[in-house]
Structure 1
Amino acid sequence: MKFTLSWLKDFLATDASVEAIADKLTSLGLEVEGVDNPAEKLAPFVVAEVVSAERHPQADKLQVLQVDAGNGPMQVVCGAPNARAGMKGVFGPPGAYVPGSDFTLKVAAIRGVESNGMMCSERELELGQGHDGIIELPADAPVGQSFATYAGLEDPVFDIAVTPNRPDCFGIDGIARDLAAGGIGSLTEQRHAPVAASGANPVAIAVEDGSGCEAFAGRLIRGVRNGPSPTWLQQRLIAVGLRPISALVDVTNFFSLAYARPLHVYDAAKLQGGIVARRGHEGERFLALNDKEYAVSADDCVIADESGVLGLGGVIGGESSGVSDATTDVLLECAWFDPVSIARTGQRHQVNTDARARFERGVDPTRLEAMIDAATAMIVDLCGGEASEITLASSARWSDITAPKIVTLRPERVASLAGVEVAADEQAAILTSLGFRQEGQGWVVPGWRPDIDGEADLVEEIARVAGYERLPSTPLPRDPGVASAVALPAQKLERRARRAAAARGLHEAVTWSFISDTDAEAFGGAPHRLANPISEDMKVMRASLLPGLARAAARNLARGATSVRLFEVGRRYLAEGERPTLALVLAGQARPRHWQSGKAEPFGPFDVKAAVSDLLAEAGAPVANLQLSAGAGDSYHPGRSAAFRLGKAELARFGELHPTLAKAFDLPLTTQVAEIFLDAIPAARDKGRARSAFSPPTLQPVTRDFAFVLPDTIAAGDLVRAVRGADKGLIADVRLFDRYQPDGGDLSLALEVVLQPLERTLTEADLLAVSEKVVAAAAKLGATLRS
């Protein structure tokens, strides 16, 4: 739900800062997802005057303007037909980013004539759809002043996450009511003068029982003049992400946002006979306002006339009865639909609209006539016309739906249920400020709060407004004999792996456990499907963490990141159960551009191998004893991937992402990925709680270098492992430090062998004996000492 600060202040008298309002909204349970000030992106644009306008020497449709933006005339090439000397408009200087066209201005030659910036249209500044000419400002507009300041665009936009139980906060009046109850200002009374009716409504309206529509209020307004809505209304809709259409439609959108009250307008001249809310008939179809055709069923609530279906009630209207600039008589609808029926219809047809979002959560059933009267007043004010009396048709259930709901509250229950002490008079003040009305020991629930069913709901409202920060922090008592909480070995392993990954410069990501069918099949499929998925992109339980990380990496790269290093510790959901896993993705640049090479270096298989080796070591795996096997499965590049094994157990897979998958996920072909199977890492042996004393060797280590010639089919890891096992008593470490292979020549690997004497200093004979063992161990693999 988005709204501007100025729009909020129509309902709330407050001098609170943007930050204070945002903090209070979040504390009230209306989490603020963002606050955006549109004036910031228009900061470079200023009011300017066109001093002169001459025809471009090389183009008939272009003009060469001399523009004064407060610092003297500048030459600008312009193609707007309304550009002329003496007019004032909006000027963007070189270096300014044009949001509507997605480019940055610079000094450029247009058909051989230098242009220093541009004069802007509404669409280019995202102020409207006008693009036939540049913006024309009044003659008294001050040259050189910030356009955002002059136009009053410094109006922050709040974006809040509304939970499903708060349909009233899909309207700005509901948000203002919560803020007023929380101490941020006071509510401004909204007065709507009743519209004088002229005769009965000639359009018959009926509601069939069981249709899903429980009430339909309508009135005819004759003699309207439809067209563009006024600037103030268009600006408000644009600010919250809606496109202005026409005055009549914009009014309905205004009420949807301001009062959480969806409305609909019909061109009365296009109606055939009366209006009826009923169930759909098999075989009926209609063209909706989104230019899609829908086949209705007997489970759908439809609005129809004698010609057939006009729209899905409460979800989307039809093209056949839509209003246009030629509309002169309009039928205004203010209805109430069963929330469950709306939700099922919307899900069945996969239609998501603002009206559906509000109706399926429950709108206020007690203000139909008040809202249609207020909307009529705005239509008459903007479009003129004369309104008929209101016709209200309802179902047999309507009296039960609108009957007052009374909930009893015992003041002492606030402390026992919420754990916070709130005085009885403060409880009453909070509920009153939220629109509840006291009757004896009970409270009458306002129509805009369909989520209130019992005493616990009232307690929640009191605790929410009083402030959850008043809840005391009290630890739970520990009964005698109950041991303190301890982490399981598997939990400790995940913590070590997470810390080790972060220490290597990787950034932790948390992705969804649910993924799409497409992403799951790309990485080998998934055995578990959801019976009632949240969306099409969350239909299966992931059998790999890589799809989610790949999508996250692609999003970061698309937004300008040059080096993406992500990891995630989570669960894979396999047929045999859940498996704890650490996955990582390296994409983009491993190292920035160097002056010698002139280009950045991408990540390679050895980068991801080094990361996996370090993480396995930190997790307690015996890295020196691991076997390296080529290939890591269908998700990896067949020639640039491998797996670490310990006997029959596979501990990790790593390497370059398969090129087909890299293209499918919009990732570079050099993207490196890895999976470490935490449950496959052998548990460390219990050596007791005491850590052994540090005892460094008393004798100096000795290093010897060996260079071997061997077939390039032999893995370097196998050679290192063979040399390390040549003398386990003396050889402390073996490190590969050089690889050389000339074109068409033999492969040569150079190893550094570290010998650690324990009892006495090594003699030449000892060193010779160890060297012979090393050469012999390498020879078993087919390696020979390089001469």
Structure 2
Amino acid sequence: MKTSLSWLREYVELPADLTAARLDEALTNLGMEVESIVDQAATVLGDLVVGRVLTIEELTGFKKPIRFCTVDVGREAPQEIVCGASNFAEGDLVVVILPGGELPGGFKIGARKTYGRNSHGMICSAAELGLSGDHSGIIVLPAGSQTPGVDARPVVGLNDVLVDVEITPDRGYEMSVRGIARELATHFGVAYTDPAAITFPVGTADAPWPITVEDTVGCDRFSVRVVRGVDPDAQSPEWMQRRLIQAGIRAISLPVDITNYLMLEFGQPMHVFDLQRLRGGLLVRRAHPGEKLTTLDGVARVLDAEDMVICDETGPISLAAVMGGETSEWQPGTVDVLLEAAHWDPVMVGRTARRHKLFSEAAKRWERGVDPQLTLASLEKAVAILVEHAGGTVDERILDIDHVAPPAVIHLPADLPSRIIGLPYGPDRIAELLTAVGCTVSGSDVVPPSWRPDLLAPIDLVEEVARLGGYNDIPSVLPPAGASGGLTPAQRRRRSVGRALAENGYVEVLSYPFVTPATADQLGLPTGDPRRSAVRLANPLSEEEPLLRTSLLGPLLGTLKRNLGRGQRDVALFEAGTVFLPRLAAAAPPVLGVDRRPDAEEWAQANAIVPDQPWHLAAVLAGDAEPSGWWGAGRTASWADAVEAARIAVSAAGIPADRVTVRAAEQAPWHPGRCAAIVVDGNVVGHAGELHPAVVNTLELPKRTSVMELDLDALPDAPVIDAPRISTFPPALIDVALILDHTVPAEEVRAALVEGAGELLESVALFDVYESSQLGEGKRSLAYKLTFRAPDRTLTSEETIAARDAAVAVTATRFGATLRGA
């Protein structure tokens, strides 16, 4: 919003000594973002004076008219000035900048020789002074109005201060001189005059033109005045043009300029129609899908069913509240005009403006909220200015279709501002502050004014109390810290698991939880797999990824692929986050309003369709797990590393190893022969292993890429672990190599050894897997390192061998294992 300080002073008695810094502070404290405050007098440096043209000599021989002038500028001798304009004559008063001056944009003025003559200064146009974009000629002042040599700044309006502020979306009333002046009056505690507080006639029984409003929700007020026989050549007064230019709006014609001027002053956008170009009565309605309208910018637009339009018998002639149409706009020869001021639904206007990418000054105000009580006052002032400067006959009939609902009463508890803001506000002070913004206060009941559609709830009134009471008066005090139990068990578990994987070489990544519908096919999920049923977002960030993930693997494998594509070859990544498993509810969810808290039944129905969101952990490996170098050959990551990652995670979650079992399984997207189920207390909590070759090919990943995924929420609570007893006696180490069928899982063999060895077994670890035709068809050798120790003595060799033999016996009975080399 751009305006001038002089315009504001017409309606608010600002301090005479008000500085730019003080004005900046006041606007900022009122909640406006100050873009700039510019003193126009400082934009032109040096001597800018009134001059009288004494003589004019027309220079010939040039491509354009050139004049050599002598100008009286109040000095002892006239100034010689060369000028390219021709819209002035001898004796005219003009504006002259003398050598040593500087025009806006850094254009310095000096004495120089041009077109064969010496020129000492410049006769200025409005464009050169930054007053308008008019380059057609220089400024010619009224005859006898000034004395040569006086400062020209006040004469041409360069003694004003221009203010440019950014208005927040909830304060549309500030997008007007009326609104800003009211705010400044409240801040400084000075008198305020409402420019809209004028006497105006009300609507009559007969309308000046037949008009029907079909949709009173999209347009709840529509007012019209008609003026006939205006002078089509009448120019806008100079003061109006100057204020429009200062606000960044181009002067067009008197009727259009009046509507723009009142939009800036009152905040009420208006529209002017050429009455002779209308065909029949007007109809205000929603657009029909597919209707077309060519707007004033010359663009043919296809309308949407939500758009509001103003129509005559030919169809839409205006995109309501946004931009008029070409067929009914004001023309240079227009003599009969229909002035319209209405009130439109802000939501509709905002959506229409964005749909058509038409962010007009009117639309900016409508979507922020406009005072619905301004229509008749705006029309009255518009008609008065038009008749004063262009004549014409005012039709005494006035149309005013009014369906505006009165503002609702807001109940404000007396202690709410103090509790929320943290400062003591008495009832009288609260009433004083709210009354200053136009509210009607009666005890705890507050009725907001018509120009404040943003005041809807008690908390909005509390914000006004804080704002007008002074943000700077609110102390910066930290809130008291309540007692805290620290991290929850789930939080501790997630941090421990992430830290453990990071310590083992994995890099954590964070992926968006959105996936494409093709993800399930890419992962090879079978028909009927519950992970194929995904939640679809109604308003996704990307139409290509409208679903919420049911597994971490889809986005995680996408991250792996990006890293591989950028030159990384040895990658180990992990991610922890929620997956979204929909609940297929037959009943439709309840429609919950915001006027009250839902009851228990409504709350239960709403939560019945909220998807389950368990916390998962996934890891992926590709390339070398151990790099090669001078120290020896490396090792490629395999399914065993994915299984080990799952073990690390479960262990970090506090689950003892004796409660964890790894067994062979088949689960997409893993290789059916290289997939392990991670079992805790008999429950499957995840899977690990090598990706299926088809998945690897589809996603273009390296061969033998391995992954694991766990449901951390499915893990039981970590038990309270007693401190281990540490034996001071030496261990007994025995290795056993067992020959078994190659289909027997190594983990089950390990469990059998633990079961048979008894209490003396301290640990068991697989350290070698050997396959050879010498062992027999379909056989392999699994070598385990067994550690035995007693807490109270040194074990004898007989005790150790007996424990080993007992362990081997269990494997022999259960799997038919034999000792290798026996």
Fold in common (TM above 0.5)? yes
Find the counterpart in structure 2 of residue 132 from structure 1: 136
Within-5 A mapping of 1:359-370: 359-370=366-377
- Cα 1:337–1:189, aligned 2, differ >3 Å: closer, same or farther? closer
For residue 249 of structure 2, give the secondary structure of its aligned residue in structure 1. coil
Find the counterpart in structure 2 of residue 673 from structure 1: none
Distance in 2 (alpha carbons) for counterparts of 1:412 and 1:230: 53
For residue 297 of structure 1, give the secondary structure of its aligned residue in structure 2. coil
Alpha-carbon contact 1:194-1:377 (below 8 Å) kept: no
Q: Which amino acid aligns with 1:473?
A: S
Distance in 1 (alpha carbons) for counterparts of 2:56 and 2:96: 15
- Cα 1:61–1:429, aligned 2, differ >3 Å: closer, same or farther? same
How far off is 1:375 after superposition? 2.5
Distance in 2 (alpha carbons) for counterparts of 1:244 and 1:288: 19
How far off is 1:256 after superposition? 1.0
How far off is 1:360 after superposition? 1.0
Find the counterpart in structure 2 of residue 259 from structure 1: 266
Of 179, 182, 186, which aligns to 2:187?
A: 182
Q: Which amino acid aligns with 1:257?
A: L
Distance in 1 (alpha carbons) for counterparts of 2:190 and 2:243: 22
How far off is 1:302 after superposition? 1.0
Find the counterpart in structure 2 of residue 477 from structure 1: 480
Distance in 2 (alpha carbons) for counterparts of 1:333 and 1:206: 13
Within-5 A mapping of 1:775-786: none
Whether 1:276 aligns to 2:280 is: no
How far off is 1:167 after superposition? 1.0
Distance in 2 (alpha carbons) for counterparts of 1:428 and 1:178: 17
Within-5 A mapping of 1:405-554: 405-478=408-481
Whether 1:216 aligns to 2:219 is: no
Distance in 1 (alpha carbons) for counterparts of 2:189 and 2:244: 25
CA deviation map 1:438-476 (0-9, x unaligned): 234311111111111111111111111011222123233
Alpha-carbon contact 2:45-2:102 (below 8 Å) kept: no
Q: Which amino acid aligns with 1:68?
A: D
Whether 1:344 aligns to 2:351 is: yes
Q: Which amino acid aligns with 1:132?
A: S
TM-score (norm 1): 0.58
Alpha-carbon contact 1:106-1:116 (below 8 Å) kept: yes
How far off is 1:174 after superposition? 1.4
For residue 185 of structure 1, give the secondary structure of its aligned residue in structure 2. coil
Whether 1:165 aligns to 2:198 is: no
For residue 405 of structure 1, give the secondary structure of its aligned residue in structure 2. coil
Of 8, 30, 33, which aligns to 2:32?
A: 30
CA deviation map 1:146-198 (0-9, x unaligned): 21133342111111121111111111111122222223421124342336999
Distance in 1 (alpha carbons) for counterparts of 2:341 and 2:3: 23
- Cα 1:114–1:404, aligned 2, differ >3 Å: closer, same or farther? same
Find the counterpart in structure 2 of residue 2 from structure 1: 2
- Cα 1:34–1:68, aligned 2, differ >3 Å: closer, same or farther? same
Alpha-carbon contact 1:88-1:136 (below 8 Å) kept: yes
Find the counterpart in structure 2 of residue 691 from structure 1: none
Q: Which amino acid aligns with 1:158?
A: V
How far off is 1:199 after superposition? 9.5
TM-score (norm 2): 0.56
How far off is 1:531 after superposition? 5.8
Alpha-carbon contact 2:70-2:79 (below 8 Å) kept: yes
- Cα 1:577–1:384, aligned 2, differ >3 Å: closer, same or farther? farther
Alpha-carbon contact 1:266-1:323 (below 8 Å) kept: yes
Alpha-carbon contact 1:217-1:391 (below 8 Å) kept: yes
- Cα 1:85–1:202, aligned 2, differ >3 Å: closer, same or farther? closer
Distance in 2 (alpha carbons) for counterparts of 1:292 and 1:481: 62
CA deviation map 1:317-362 (0-9, x unaligned): 1122111332111111111111111111111110110100011111
CA deviation map 1:63-104 (0-9, x unaligned): 21112323322221122223333222011234444448x744
Alpha-carbon contact 1:195-1:387 (below 8 Å) kept: no
Distance in 2 (alpha carbons) for counterparts of 1:199 and 1:75: 67
Find the counterpart in structure 2 of residue 82 from structure 1: 87
**Identity over the aligned pairs, expressed in percent?**
36
- Cα 1:124–1:183, aligned 2, differ >3 Å: closer, same or farther? closer
How far off is 1:205 after superposition? 0.9
CA deviation map 1:742-767 (0-9, x unaligned): xxxxxxxxxxxxxxxxxxxxxxxxxx
Find the counterpart in structure 1 of residue 399 from structure 2: 391
Within-5 A mapping of 1:362-761: 362-388=369-395, 389-393=397-401, 398=403, 401-478=404-481
For residue 85 of structure 2, give the secondary structure of its aligned residue in structure 1. coil
Q: Which amino acid aligns with 2:463?
A: E
Alpha-carbon contact 2:268-2:374 (below 8 Å) kept: no
Distance in 2 (alpha carbons) for counterparts of 1:198 and 1:423: 46
Of 142, 152, 155, which aligns to 1:147?
A: 152
- Cα 1:371–1:299, aligned 2, differ >3 Å: closer, same or farther? same
Q: Which amino acid aligns with 1:296?
A: L
Alpha-carbon contact 1:68-1:74 (below 8 Å) kept: yes
Find the counterpart in structure 2 of residue 118 from structure 1: 122
Distance in 1 (alpha carbons) for counterparts of 2:292 and 2:484: 70
- Cα 1:435–1:478, aligned 2, differ >3 Å: closer, same or farther? closer
Within-5 A mapping of 1:104-115: 104-115=108-119
Whether 1:92 aligns to 2:94 is: no
Distance in 1 (alpha carbons) for counterparts of 2:355 and 2:204: 41
Alpha-carbon contact 1:262-1:334 (below 8 Å) kept: yes
Alpha-carbon contact 1:332-1:372 (below 8 Å) kept: yes
Find the counterpart in structure 1 of residue 200 from structure 2: 194
For residue 360 of structure 1, give the secondary structure of its aligned residue in structure 2. helix
Distance in 2 (alpha carbons) for counterparts of 1:224 and 1:108: 49
Of 58, 68, 89, which aligns to 1:64?
A: 68
Distance in 2 (alpha carbons) for counterparts of 1:261 and 1:310: 20
Distance in 1 (alpha carbons) for counterparts of 2:37 and 2:325: 35
Of 318, 325, 336, which aligns to 2:332?
A: 325
Find the counterpart in structure 2 of residue 12 from structure 1: 12
Distance in 2 (alpha carbons) for counterparts of 1:316 and 1:365: 19
- Cα 1:531–1:171, aligned 2, differ >3 Å: closer, same or farther? farther
Alpha-carbon contact 1:366-1:402 (below 8 Å) kept: no
Distance in 2 (alpha carbons) for counterparts of 1:14 and 1:307: 51
The gaps in structure 1 that reach 5 residues or longer are 484-529, 534-574, 579-787
How far off is 1:218 after superposition? 1.1
How far off is 1:261 after superposition? 0.6
Distance in 2 (alpha carbons) for counterparts of 1:82 and 1:296: 47
Find the counterpart in structure 2 of residue 640 from structure 1: none
For residue 90 of structure 2, give the secondary structure of its aligned residue in structure 1. coil
Distance in 2 (alpha carbons) for counterparts of 1:248 and 1:576: 68
CA deviation map 1:580-625 (0-9, x unaligned): xxxxxxxxxxxxxxxxxxxxxxxxxxxxxxxxxxxxxxxxxxxxxx
Alpha-carbon contact 1:39-1:153 (below 8 Å) kept: yes
The gaps in structure 2 that reach 5 residues or longer are 487-538, 543-572, 577-822
Alpha-carbon contact 1:211-1:278 (below 8 Å) kept: no
Distance in 1 (alpha carbons) for counterparts of 2:303 and 2:230: 32
- Cα 1:284–1:103, aligned 2, differ >3 Å: closer, same or farther? farther
For residue 255 of structure 2, give the secondary structure of its aligned residue in structure 1. helix
Distance in 2 (alpha carbons) for counterparts of 1:328 and 1:383: 10
- Cα 1:108–1:531, aligned 2, differ >3 Å: closer, same or farther? farther
Distance in 1 (alpha carbons) for counterparts of 2:217 and 2:275: 23
- Cα 1:199–1:58, aligned 2, differ >3 Å: closer, same or farther? farther
- Cα 1:192–1:477, aligned 2, differ >3 Å: closer, same or farther? closer
How far off is 1:139 after superposition? 2.6
Q: Which has the larger radius of gyration?
A: 2
Find the counterpart in structure 2 of residue 749 from structure 1: none
